[in-house]
Each structure stands twice: as C-alpha cells, then as structure tokens.
Amino acid sequence: MRASVPASSANLGPGFDSIGIALELRIAADVRVLEPGATPRWTFSGAQFPTHDGLRDEIARGIARIVGARVLPPLAIAVHNDIPLGKGLGGSAAGAVLGVAIGAALRGVPAGEAELAHTIAEIEGHPDNGIPALLGGIVVAAQGPNEAPAYLRFAPPAGVRAVVVVPDIEMPTVQARAILPATYSRRDTVYNIGRAALLGAAFAAGRTDMLRAAMRDRIHQPYRASFVPGLAEMLALEGPGVLGTALSGAGPSVLALVEAGAAGRVADAFIDTFARHGVMARAYDLALAEQGLIVEA
C-alpha cells in the first residue's frame, strides 16, 4: 500500500489546541508486508530527512495503536518526507496519521473516520494537527480529558494560499509549552475566546476579510515571541492580499494566509525580517490541502 498525509498548521493565532489547517506539503510511505521472521526495514528519503528516530517512532506508535498488538508483522516501510520536522508544521501528527492508516490496512477491518480521529487525537494529546492531517481542509475541534474529539471540518476558502517561512532555529514543542503561564487574566481570556469564535465563524462563512481581526492572540504568541526573532514585526505585516498571520503551531515557523498574488511579497518580507535578526530562513508557498490522508492499495 501507499499512503500520504499533509502538513498542518495549528492554533492560527487564538485557536490554541483547537483550530488547524492542512497544507499541501506531504509525507508518504510505501509499505510491504515481509515474510514471517524477516527483519523490519525502514528507509527515508525526501527534502526533510529525519535527524533522529522521532518520526519513525511516531509512525510505529500509530501502527501499534490501531492494530492493538505489541508485536507487529515484519514490514518494509519506505518513507518520503517533505515536511520540515520540529518547525511547527505538524510533522509528528502527520507521522501518527500515516501510522494509523498503515495499521488499519494491516488489521484488515475497515476503520471509520470517528475511530481514526479519536485514535490520532489520543496519540497527539490534542486534535488540532492530527485531524486536519487526516481530513484535509480546516478543522475546529474540542476535546476534554477522556473524551472523543468533537470537530467540524470546513473546505479551504477559494483563492487563499499559505506562505510559511521556516527559520533555521529550533523550538521543541515541550519547550514552547513550558514558557506559557499557568494562569491568564480575564481580559486576555475573553479577548481570545472572542477571536477564536470569530475565526471559526469566518472559516465557516468564507469571510476571509475577517481573518486579520480573528487571528489575533494573547494566549501563546506574546510569550513565544522571545524565542522567534522578529515575530512581532511579522504579525503586524499588512498590505494588499495579506489576510492574516500567525505563529505556526508552537513555532518557530510563521504562517500567513494570503491571496495568491501576495505570496512572493510576503515571503520576501518574512525572510528579510528574520535576516535582520541574524536568522536564515526558507519560504514555502503552499496550497491549502483539500484532501488529508490519501491511501492507495
């Protein structure tokens, strides 16, 4: 079998752990079942070669979780990855979705969307990367302890692209979460509730003109800005075709939703901003992914 999964960008400003969007940058795997007793084989290729075993482990965890077995049949898994890892673009979530898809094929019992979504959210601990990677489009989700995720998916708005600029700095998700405060003021909490609600409504209504106001945040971006040089300047960028800007996931990448004609200008502006702060960066001009997981026999 062959399967592929898109990258994703979560939070989109105020939608902390609850809103995510799929991006047309993929990880794919070709999988063969080997003869009993054979040694499992993993190979990796692509623009974003993993530097440690995290991606492999995420795929393996997804396989084991859906199969429900401690010992899996020997597999030959050839992974091709174009998603930057550890950069806030849902690489681990994409690996989990890929593993769950492989596991479902091995199990031989069809897995419905609800089972897949629940399993992926359990693996990730939150639904805002994994479910967009599974379903494509834009997902607004809520999940409490010991609950299945409740979510709605929206098709990507027509004519919108994502500019993602990936700086050459590291910001592990664990560290990015650790710098957040334990409590927030009522004013900041109410501010974010309103923006997150407006963001979901804007996507549901196709009102891209509301994205700039809706993507403002006081819960995580102000605290993470000290780790992402120039973030405040990039969040403030305005101009024709710039719809809204946010830290991508936990960072350090920065994402702007733009009209197609503005992509090059925004990418150059973000790269220049990072350069002024002594940081090299590369830009991606990406379509929003209409399809999430794609499986071929």
User: Domain of 201: which CATH number?
Assistant: 3.30.70.890
Q: State residue 51's pLDDT score.
A: 64
Together in a domain, 13 and 140: yes
Q: Comparing 177 with 224, which gets the higher pLDDT?
A: 224
Q: For the residues 203-209, what does the mean pLDDT come to?
A: 96
Together in a domain, 32 and 149: yes
Together in a domain, 135 and 6: yes
Q: Which tens digits make up the pLDDT trace of 252-286?
A: 999 999 998 999 999 999 999 999 999 999 999 99
**pLDDT band with cut points at 50, 70 and 90 for residue 107:** confident
Mean pLDDT of the chain: 93
pLDDT surpasses 90 at 175: no
Q: For the residues 146-161, what does the mean pLDDT come to?
A: 94
Q: Rounded to whole angstroms, how far apart are CA atoms 90 and 97?
A: 10
**pLDDT band with cut points at 50, 70 and 90 for residue 177:** confident
Q: Which tens digits make up the pLDDT trace of 231-247?
A: 999 999 999 999 999 99
Together in a domain, 136 and 91: yes
Q: How far apart are the first and last CA of the chain?
A: 5
Residues 270 and 163: beta-carbon distance below 8 Å? yes
pLDDT surpasses 80 at 6: yes
Together in a domain, 122 and 215: no
Together in a domain, 14 and 144: yes
Together in a domain, 8 and 101: yes
Q: Which domain holds residue 116?
A: 2-155+289-296
Percent of the chain having pLDDT more than 70? 99
Q: Which tens digits make up the pLDDT trace of 7-47?
A: 999 999 999 999 999 999 999 999 999 998 899 899 999 88
CATH label of the domain that carries residue 57:
3.30.230.10
The set of residues, in sequence order, having a beta carbon less than 8 Å from that of 140 and lying 6+ positions away, is: 15, 18, 19, 151, 152, 154, 200, 203
Percent of the chain having pLDDT more than 90? 81
pLDDT surpasses 80 at 71: no
41-45/254-259 β-pairing: unpaired
pLDDT surpasses 90 at 176: no
Together in a domain, 126 and 27: yes
Together in a domain, 167 and 149: no
**pLDDT band with cut points at 50, 70 and 90 for residue 189:** very high
Together in a domain, 77 and 95: yes
pLDDT surpasses 90 at 72: no
Together in a domain, 14 and 140: yes
User: Per mean pLDDT, which range of 19-23, 66-70, 156-160, 281-285 is the poorest?
Assistant: 66-70
Amino acid at 85: L
pTM of the model: 0.94
CA dihedral 46, 84, 104, 116 (to 10 degrees): -160
Together in a domain, 132 and 202: no
pLDDT surpasses 80 at 202: yes
- For the chain, the domain total comes to 2
Q: State residue 53's pLDDT score.
A: 80
Q: Comparing 105 with 49, which gets the higher pLDDT?
A: 105
